Amino acid sequence: MVGEIHAEAWRAAYARFFAPEFFAEALRQRRGKWRDMLADDNGRTAMLAALDGRRLAFSYFGSSPAQLESAEIFGFYGHPDGWGSGVANALVTASLHMIREKGFGRVHLWTLRDTPQSRRFYTKSGFAESGAVRGHDFGDGNLIEQVEYELIFR
């Protein structure tokens, strides 16, 4: 189920960034990778959110490898069928609550610069741009610019 959410969110939001052949393979990989990732005891947490019994969003977070004493949200995706339903809002609230309960005072994430919908969502959820920008290669040899968002718990 997590793989399906991930792939469908990618299909809706990221298709324009990649060549069709690469994108088809990227979707296939996203559908198949989560079973092993979730079975791996790497200290990270995955949360699912459902609406009317249908799982529509997931978050995946843990200790940041790049920023000591910070959490990082490595993945936060909602199935397009759930966009605008509030399911992602409920999930980000629950995820941030759990991150704070785990003792983190700060959380950060990266999102594509040219995805205004995700950027609005993170801002609405209390995140602010940190000012950090990076190029990220998703495997096709092209760098796509990402911006970092952070939230400091008070």
Q: Which two tokens stand for residue 11?
A: 């299909």
pLDDT of 94: 98
Give the span between the Cα atoms of 154 and 142, in whole angstroms. 38
**Number of alpha carbons in the 13 Å side-chain half-sphere of residue 36:** 5
Instruction: Give the pLDDT of residue 44.
Output: 93
Q: Is the pTM of this model over 0.85?
A: yes
CA distance 152 to 104: 9
Structure confidence at residue 109 as a pLDDT band (50, 70, 90): very high
Which domains does the chain carry? 2-152 (3.40.630.30)
